[in-house]
A and B are shown apart, each in its own frame.
Chain A
Amino acid sequence: MQPILEVQGLNYVYPDGTKALNGASLKVERGQKIAILGANGSGKSTLFLCINGVLKPSGGRVLLEGDPVKYDKKGLLAVRKEVGVVFQDPETQLFCMSVAEEVAFGPRNLGCSHQETEQRVQDSLNMVDAQALSQKPPHFLSYGQKKRVSVAAVLSMKPQVLLLDEPTSALDPAHTEQMNRLLDELCSQGITLILSTHDVDFAYGWADQIVVMKEGKVLRQGSPDNIFTDDRLLLQSHLSKPAVLRVYQKLCKKGILSKKEWPHTIAELEERLESC
């Protein structure tokens, strides 16, 4: 199957000389859930901006459904229709007078009709449960509300691939739970999700594929089981092992559980313990 997104040897150097990306490569199949892990400054945000065409890479290329991204006006519009970015800080994303205007910004830029735009705004706000906020100015919203609106503002462009830069950082547990439910719903609609996170427990339970980044390179892309059982890789990239996995491995060593399928969440581990 043709990967929906492929990044080949991407380089990006900031004007001050910082090499943010240094030959990063990855491949994403349609409908996958990808978690990108890496320390601060490992190039995750820059990678997102490059995939979206906001930053033009100084080397390498980005392929969308097999076609290399072109950096002319038409090409960029096509990329932005296909790929949406939810930024880490919702404050930078929200600039319009009201929430409804904010969510309508993207569809209008895509040239949607008035009716189509209205419909998309309604649908997106419903999806993130923010209909009640539609006439409020962004600076009246709480952080959690801003975050939800910033997701809706991208969803209204109906992207095939959604990039989320640390979507649950600085959210309280209830909002985190809500965000995770939203991600599940988006996934069930067939949207390809790529998110960066520092939460290894979440990444282990949620993702189909893990991408580990360090110093502008992709160290490894693989299944969560593959990544998190490779102790050398974890050490090298300063990642900790998910708690579930640690406990499970200990239980196996003690002979309490037998090595079968890996449990990915606490609930799965509990189930295994119940049935043994």
Chain B
Amino acid sequence: MIWMDRLADDSRLKGLSPAIKGVLSMFTLLLCLGVDSTPFSLLVLLIGTISCTAGAGLSVKYYVKLLCIPFWFILIGALAVAVNITPQPAGFFSLPVLGYYLCISKAAIWQAAGLFLKSLACVSCVYFFYVSTPMPQVFGLLQRMHLPAILIEMMMMIYRFIFILLRIAEDMSISQKSRLGNQTFGSSFRSLSILASSVFVKALQKSTDVLNAMESRGYDGAIRYNTGLQKSLPQYWAVTAGYCMFLVLLVLLIKGLGG
């Protein structure tokens, strides 16, 4: 899982202001959701893919790997839309089940395909932000958006702990495997339950240790941090605004053609 966190740190667009990256990604995402047009979704997916790979410098292999994470989830969701349950047969395919029919109609398939594309396009928008913005910048952005400090601090701690606990869980799992902890179906379940409970106990211990270490450096209930965000150049903002306007125009054009 750590490889995912490294992507943003190795990104070509790391130096770009997170506010710009956030606006680019969120604007495209919201527009894609709002417009709800399949050609536009396709376009957004294309833009997302290009900006992740050619823009942020992510290798195609990793980009596909990332897209695969929600792929099956989206596919199953789309399938559920494509298939209708009706009392009478309908559409071009009907399968009788317990007195009802599972029907697939042409319209439903188009709807499912549109939904599938739209979801994938939105995911690619989010990925653009994700693979180009290291976490410290994200927290900096949230801070600038005046999110309550307590929330940001909790997010920071959770983010850090994910990696500590992940390491512990990995090490434990290796040590279980090396002692044949998952030879049989039963033993691997037992191993997993031991792993889960001991990671929980370790998390408690670690949190006490971390608090001790923080107190020894004068922690008094507030983390004072500096996100070190630089103001971005006006040119960049101009380009961002231009891109947004271009998208809006495109949407109007598509809507005009469609309606």
A contact residues vs B (CB 8 Å cutoff): 49, 52-55, 73, 77, 80-81, 84-85, 87, 89, 91-98, 100-101, 104-106, 108-110, 114, 117, 136-140, 153-154, 157
Query: Does the CB pair A95–B160 fall under 8 Å?
Result: yes
> B11 → chain A, closest Cβ, in Å?
13
Question: Chain A contacts of B215 at CB under 8 A?
Answer: 54, 80
Query: Does the CB pair B136–A138 fall under 8 Å?
Result: no
> A16 → chain B, closest Cβ, in Å?
13
Query: Does the CB pair B219–A109 fall under 8 Å?
Result: yes
Query: Does the CB pair A105–B217 fall under 8 Å?
Result: yes
Instruction: Decide if the interface of chain A is mainly helix, strand, loop or mixed.
Output: helix
Q: Is B210 an interface residue (CB 8 A)?
A: yes
Query: Does the CB pair A137–B219 fall under 8 Å?
Result: no
Kindly supply a per-residue 1/0 record for chain B positions 225-257, scoring 1 wherever the CB is within 8 Å of any chain A CB and 0 otherwise: 110100000000000000000000000000000
Which of the listed residues B157, B164, B213, B215 has the most CB atoms from chain A within 10 Å of its own CB?
A: B213
Kindly supply a per-residue 1/0 record for chain B positions 96-115, scoring 1 wherever the CB is within 8 Å of any chain A CB and 0 otherwise: 00000000000000000000
Query: Does the CB pair A154–B217 fall under 8 Å?
Result: yes
Query: Does the CB pair B216–A84 fall under 8 Å?
Result: yes
Query: Does the CB pair B217–A153 fall under 8 Å?
Result: yes
- In the bound assembly, the distance between CA atoms of A192 and B53 in angstroms comes to 53
Decide: A97 near B156, CB < 8 A? Known: A92-B209, A108-B224. Answer: yes
Query: Does the CB pair A73–B220 fall under 8 Å?
Result: yes
Q: Which residue of A lies closest to B214 (CB)?
A: A95
Q: Is B27 an interface residue (CB 8 A)?
A: no
Beyond contacts A96-B160, A98-B136: 18 other A-B pairs, Cβ-Cβ < 8 A, are A55-B212, A84-B217, A85-B216, A89-B209, A94-B160, A95-B214, A96-B156, A96-B225, A97-B156, A97-B160, A101-B136, A105-B225, A106-B218, A117-B226, A137-B5, A139-B2, A140-B6, A153-B217
Instruction: Decide if the interface of chain B is mainly helix, strand, loop or mixed.
Output: helix
Q: Which 7 pairs of residues, A with B, have the shortest CB-CB distance?
A: A109-B218, A97-B136, A108-B224, A92-B209, A139-B163, A106-B217, A93-B213
Q: How many residues of B contact A (CB 8 A)?
A: 32
- In the bound assembly, the distance between CA atoms of A80 and B139 in angstroms comes to 28
- In the bound assembly, the distance between CA atoms of A105 and B224 in angstroms comes to 7
Q: Is B43 an interface residue (CB 8 A)?
A: no
Out of B9, B135, B213, B224, name the residue touching A92 (CB < 8 Å).
B213
Question: Chain B contacts of A153 at CB under 8 A?
Answer: 217
B contact residues vs A (CB 8 Å cutoff): 2, 5-6, 9, 134-136, 139, 156-157, 159-160, 163-164, 167, 206, 209-210, 212-220, 223-226, 228
- In the bound assembly, the distance between CA atoms of A154 and B78 in angstroms comes to 54
> B128 → chain A, closest Cβ, in Å?
20
Question: Chain A contacts of B214 at CB under 8 A?
Answer: 95, 105
Out of B136, B206, B218, name the residue touching A137 (CB < 8 Å).
B136
Q: Which residue of B lies closest to A163 (CB)?
A: B216
Q: Which residue of A lies closest to B140 (CB)?
A: A97
Query: Does the CB pair A157–B217 fall under 8 Å?
Result: yes
- In the bound assembly, the distance between CA atoms of A50 and B10 in angstroms comes to 42
Query: Does the CB pair B6–A109 fall under 8 Å?
Result: no
Out of B139, B218, B225, name the residue touching A77 (CB < 8 Å).
B218
Q: Which residue of A lies closest to B223 (CB)?
A: A105
Which of the listed residues B167, B219, B224 has the most CB atoms from chain A within 10 Å of its own CB?
A: B224
Question: Chain B contacts of A73 at CB under 8 A?
Answer: 220
> A72 → chain B, closest Cβ, in Å?
12
Q: Which residue of A lies closest to B228 (CB)?
A: A100
Question: Chain B contacts of A84 at CB under 8 A?
Answer: 216-217
Question: Chain A contacts of B209 at CB under 8 A?
Answer: 87, 89, 92
Which of the listed residues A87, A114, A139 has the most CB atoms from chain B within 10 Å of its own CB?
A: A139
> B196 → chain A, closest Cβ, in Å?
21
List 15 interface pairs A-B (beta carbons < 8 Å), by A numbering.
A54-B212, A54-B215, A87-B212, A92-B212, A95-B156, A96-B160, A97-B136, A101-B136, A105-B214, A105-B223, A108-B224, A117-B226, A136-B9, A137-B135, A153-B217
- In the bound assembly, the distance between CA atoms of A81 and B25 in angstroms comes to 44
Decide: A80 near B135, CB < 8 A? Known: A95-B160, A140-B6. Answer: no
Query: Does the CB pair A110–B218 fall under 8 Å?
Result: yes
Query: Does the CB pair B9–A101 fall under 8 Å?
Result: no
Out of A81, A92, A108, name the residue touching B210 (CB < 8 Å).
A92
Q: Which residue of A lies closest to B218 (CB)?
A: A109
Question: Chain A contacts of B136 at CB under 8 A?
Answer: 97-98, 101, 137
Question: Chain B contacts of A109 at CB under 8 A?
Answer: 217-220, 224
Query: Does the CB pair A54–B216 fall under 8 Å?
Result: yes
Decide: A49 near B218, CB < 8 A? Known: A96-B156, A96-B225, A97-B139. Answer: no
- In the bound assembly, the distance between CA atoms of A114 and B6 in angstroms comes to 29
